[in-house]
Amino acid sequence: MLGTAGYTLLEGWSLVESFYMTMITVTTVGFNEVREMSTTGRMFTVALMILGVGTLFYGIAIIAEVRFEERIRQIFGRRKLVKELDRLENHHIICGYGRIGSTVAAEYARESLPHVIIESDESIISHLDQEGQIVILGDATLDETLAEAHVEKAKSLVCALATDAENVFVTLTARALNPNLFILSRAALESSIGKMEAAGADHVVSPYIMGGMRMAQSVLRPKLASFLDEVTGHATTDLDFDEVTVPEGSNLVGMALRESKISQETGVYILSIRHNSGEMRFNPGPDFEIQAGDHLYALGTPEEVESLRKRVQAK
């Protein structure tokens, strides 16, 4: 526009002639001048060459730099991801970052648990990268994608993909790669629950069934529903309802609850205890004997629950 206007005003050429002269100058084609030019026109052409050609090559350089930097970031980002994945052990894998997967990831982050997200949507991947999440772009139903997430070293896997068929397939694949993996799967249809369990899922959750039951409880027993919200941490962060496992060698093994003084020393309330055999004892009495491998279900503040974890580890 500047060149066309300049030739038109300085030399009195037509717009077509001025535009043509500008284009052969800026693109360095080097054809003959459209007409004989004055000294002023020649000096304008020199300025146009410097400005136009300089701008052109500067633009090309900027584009090349952006592409080069993007490629460099991809290479180094990939190396960083591989290093982070190689360091992981007993981590948690989330397949799918939708409404369910994002909620699970937020809870893992709140608990500072190491986790890997597998997602196939590139727009979601870029958002997670900016948050510093460990995320893999790929199809969770493929063996190589789960292997990249080191499923063989993982502690648990959550199947939160869009369809039940995908979740069944991921469950089958993950179970084959890691027989000891704890697998939690999402089921949209009640009829899919049995299939997922047969595929190897340890636990299957139907958000629609659970949501419907929760809504019914809110109407039928609103105070109980409010209490459960408090206990599970949905309504407050002041209370934790958590599971603590008694390890082999703990000095609590063989002690009665009265002797252990758990409640007095930590402040938690033991609601129930599950033996390794699967037997659940609700509201265990003071004479209940603690054994290695028992799972203590405790209610208390986050600090009190953490104190209980340290107490059961003592030797």
Give the pair of three-digit tokens for residue 315. 């030797």
Report yes or no: 268 and 304 within 8 Å, Cβ to Cβ: yes
CATH topology of domain 88-211: Rossmann fold (3.40.50)
Distance CA 115, CA 73 (A): 23
The predicted-structure confidence for 39-94, as pLDDT tens digits, reads as follows: 888 888 888 888 887 887 888 888 887 777 766 665 565 566 667 778 888 999 99
Can you give the residue ranges of every domain in the chain?
2-79, 88-211, 222-313
Report yes or no: 252 and 313 within 8 Å, Cβ to Cβ: no
Q: Which H or E element spans position 226?
A: helix 222-232
Report yes or no: 156 and 93 within 8 Å, Cβ to Cβ: yes
Instruction: For residue 306, count other CB atoms closer than 10 A to its CB.
Output: 16
Give Cβ neighbours of residue 187 (< 8 Å, ≥ 6 apart): 164, 167, 193, 196, 204, 205, 206
Which top CATH class is 2-79? mainly alpha
pLDDT at 212: 85
pLDDT at 231: 64
CA 268 to mean position of chain CA atoms: 32
**SS3 call for 202:** coil
**Level-2 CATH architecture, domain 222-313:** 2-Layer Sandwich (3.30)
Nearest CA to 237 out of 297, 302, 299, 298 is that of 302
- The b-or-e profile of 24-54 (16+ CB within 10 A means b, else e) is ebbeeeeeeebeebeeebeebbeebeeebee
Backbone angles phi, psi at 84, to 5 degrees: -65, -40
pLDDT at 70: 66
Distance CA 68, CA 63 (A): 9
Strand 156-159 relative to strand 135-137: parallel, antiparallel, unpaired? Answer: unpaired
Q: Tell me the CA distances in angstroms from 315 to 146, 296, 307, one per residue in order.
A: 38, 18, 15
**SS3 call for 53:** helix
The predicted-structure confidence for 197-208, as pLDDT tens digits, reads as follows: 999 999 999 888
pLDDT at 122: 81
Which pLDDT tens digits describe the chain residue by residue (315 residues)? 888 888 888 888 888 888 888 888 887 777 777 788 888 888 888 888 888 878 878 888 888 877 777 666 655 655 666 677 788 889 999 999 988 999 999 989 888 899 999 998 888 877 777 777 888 888 999 999 999 899 999 999 999 998 999 999 999 999 999 999 999 999 988 889 999 999 999 999 988 888 888 888 888 888 877 777 766 655 555 677 788 888 888 888 888 888 888 888 888 888 888 887 778 888 888 888 888 888 888 888 888 888 888 888 866
